[in-house]
């Protein structure tokens, strides 16, 4: 074959390749919303057409015999049929797998949980390609994440409904008592008028503490709690809390003992951290047995500032540990106010919820362990500055809040 003939054949092949390729691209653009099966078949047919056009150009240029030309047409026809058949099989498999993914996405949108193995071949469905299998795995992961999110939201919503119910009960009881006492005072039926006044004031203080706790908890959970970083001595902060709660501890026969590092500095928000320490200490006083001791210590552990409170409450049962930091949860379903504590705490079961939220907002954490005949709560604060979101003028992310034995103020 002369070089001129070869170049002629190549020119014709290039011509048909460009013409058929341009036509195929135009058809693919027009059929861009068609199924994957149709697009795969179109590409395979275009490839076969380019091959046939090139072979025909070569046959005509080489002037082969009619018999040889007939044989070549048979070969081309058989090759074309096989190629189209394979493309149909491949396209059908891809189409079925795509339909499975569409169905999985639709079920995911309806809130259903996807079965594991969406990307594995089942029955007549072939195994997915690596790209589709990766997409199926992402859908499964999204399904699991959404299911976990729905469970958390359901748990939070249940806890909120229960908290509203309990708060309504806790508000209704002192209101009914106050109404009965005011009616007795109005009718002149009260034998101990000063005592009635003291009881009304105590009920008012308890409801005020409950409302303040709810406002503080709502700020923590909504991410609107603002902290102001300042250096403070945790020993002085604990000393103030001990002095504040000493009369209550004495009334219940509880001895308060403080110790630890005389100077334990930390960078924190003084008012909120003082509230957290007071709630931990108050919780220990309420649930410790009479004639026992509550020990408070201040120190450092691995560079973190730690405030630890150890009581003699008898320990926490294992079945109560999952509820330890659950908002509004109380061990005693009667939810009664301990004798002699009226007005000292809200009794709403959200005290340690605020502790967890406040400490988390400071970038720290709260731990609890059963020790001897009681529990040891430890508030750990990082030695450095507050998280950037805790600086003045910025809001904090929502903090998860929970509670302990029965939740105090």
Could you tell me the residue ranges of all domains in the chain? 3-112, 156-390
The whole-angstrom separation of Cα 295 and Cα 257 is 5
Q: For 370, which DSSP code?
A: E
Given a contact cutoff of 8 angstroms between Cβ atoms, the answer to whether 355 and 280 are in contact is yes
What proportion of the chain, given as a percentage, has pLDDT over 90? Answer: 5
Confidence of residue 96 (pLDDT cuts 50, 70, 90): confident
**CA proximity to 220, closest of 346, 361, 119:** 361
Q: How many residues does the chain have?
A: 409
The whole-angstrom separation of Cα 200 and Cα 196 is 6
The whole-angstrom separation of Cα 277 and Cα 283 is 10
Its pTM surpasses 0.75: no
User: Where do we find the tokens 């079965």?
Assistant: 115
How many other C-beta atoms can be found within 10 angstroms of the C-beta atom of residue 289?
Answer: 14
What fold, for 156-390? Heat Shock Protein 90 (3.30.565)
Residues paired with 329 in a beta bridge: none
Residue 102, classed as helix, strand or coil, is helix
Q: Which residue has the higher pLDDT, 284 or 116?
A: 284
Region of poorest pLDDT, from 136-140, 159-163, 329-333 = 329-333
The whole-angstrom separation of Cα 383 and Cα 128 is 52
pLDDT tens figures, 342-391: 444 444 557 777 788 888 888 888 888 888 888 899 999 886 554 444 44
76 by Cβ neighbours in 10 Å (0-12 / 13-18 / 19+) ranks as middle
pLDDT over 70 at 395, yes or no: no
The backbone region for 231, taken as left when phi is positive above 0, alpha when psi lies in -120 to 50, beta otherwise, is beta
Give me the pLDDT at residue 396, please. 36
The whole-angstrom separation of Cα 317 and Cα 336 is 20
Q: Which of 28-32, 170-174, 257-261, 372-376 has the highest mean pLDDT?
A: 372-376
Q: For 16, which DSSP code?
A: H
Confidence of residue 409 (pLDDT cuts 50, 70, 90): very low
The whole-angstrom separation of Cα 264 and Cα 231 is 10
Q: Which of 20-29, 122-131, 283-292 has the highest mean pLDDT?
A: 283-292
The whole-angstrom separation of Cα 256 and Cα 281 is 9
pLDDT over 80 at 272, yes or no: yes
Give me the pLDDT at residue 404, please. 39
The whole-angstrom separation of Cα 270 and Cα 214 is 20
Q: For 389, which DSSP code?
A: G
Q: Which residue has the higher pLDDT, 281 or 33?
A: 281
pLDDT tens figures, 297-333: 998 888 888 999 999 988 888 777 666 676 666 665 4
Given a contact cutoff of 8 angstroms between Cβ atoms, the answer to whether 304 and 380 are in contact is yes
Given a contact cutoff of 8 angstroms between Cβ atoms, the answer to whether 344 and 282 are in contact is yes
Confidence of residue 407 (pLDDT cuts 50, 70, 90): very low
Helix%, strand%, coil% for the chain, nearest 5: 60, 10, 30
59 by Cβ neighbours in 10 Å (0-12 / 13-18 / 19+) ranks as middle
pLDDT tens figures, 163-218: 777 777 777 878 888 899 999 898 888 888 888 898 899 888 878 877 877 777 77
CA trace torsion 144, 145, 151, 152 (10° rounding): 160
264's enclosing H/E stretch is: none
Rg of the chain taking only CA atoms, in angstroms: 38
pLDDT tens figures, 60-84: 666 566 677 677 777 777 777 777 7
Residue 277, classed as helix, strand or coil, is helix
Average pLDDT over residues 226-250: 87
What proportion of the chain, given as a percentage, has pLDDT over 70? Answer: 76
């Amino acid at each position: 074959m002369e070089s001129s003939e070869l170049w002629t054949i190549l020119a014709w092949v290039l011509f048909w390749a460009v013409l058929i390729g341009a036509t195929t691209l135009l058809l693919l653009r027009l059929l861009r919303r068609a199924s994957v099966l149709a697009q795969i078949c179109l590409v395979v047919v275009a490839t076969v057409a380019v091959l046939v056009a090139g072979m025909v150009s070569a046959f005509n240029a080489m002037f082969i015999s009619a018999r040889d030309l007939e044989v070549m047409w048979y070969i081309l026809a058989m090759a074309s049929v096989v190629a189209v058949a394979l493309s149909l099989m491949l396209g059908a498999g891809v189409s079925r797998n795509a339909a499975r993914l569409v169905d999985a996405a639709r079920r995911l949108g309806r809130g259903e949980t996807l079965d594991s193995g969406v990307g594995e071949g089942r029955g007549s469905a072939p195994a997915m390609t690596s790209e589709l299998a990766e997409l199926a795995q992402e859908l499964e992961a999204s399904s699991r994440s959404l299911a976990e999110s729905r469970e958390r939201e359901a748990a939070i919503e249940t806890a909120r409904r229960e908290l509203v119910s309990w708060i309504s009960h806790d508000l209704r009881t002192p209101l009914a008592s106050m109404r009965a006492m005011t009616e007795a005072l109005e009718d002149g039926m009260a034998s101990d008028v000063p005592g009635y006044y003291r009881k009304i004031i105590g009920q008012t203080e308890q409801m005020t503490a409950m409302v303040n706790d709810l406002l503080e908890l709502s700020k923590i959970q909504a991410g609107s709690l603002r902290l102001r970083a300042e250096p403070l001595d945790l020993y002085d902060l604990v000393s103030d809390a001990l002095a504040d709660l000493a009369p209550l501890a004495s009334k219940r026969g509880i001895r308060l003992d403080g110790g630890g590092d005389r100077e334990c500095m930390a960078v924190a928000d003084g008012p909120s951290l003082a509230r957290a320490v007071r709630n931990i200490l108050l919780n220990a006083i309420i649930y410790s047995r009479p004639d026992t001791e509550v020990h408070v210590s201040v120190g450092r552990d691995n560079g973190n500032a730690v405030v630890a409170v150890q009581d003699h409450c008898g320990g926490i049962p294992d079945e109560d540990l999952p509820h330890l930091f659950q908002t509004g949860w109380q061990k005693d379903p009667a939810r009664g106010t301990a004798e002699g504590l009226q007005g000292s705490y809200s009794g709403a079961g959200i005290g340690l919820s605020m502790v967890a939220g406040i400490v988390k907002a400071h970038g720290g954490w709260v731990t609890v362990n059963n020790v001897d005949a009681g529990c040891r709560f430890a508030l750990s604060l990082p030695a450095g500055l507050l998280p950037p979101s805790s600086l003045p003028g910025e809001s904090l992310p929502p903090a998860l809040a929970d509670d302990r034995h029965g939740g105090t103020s």
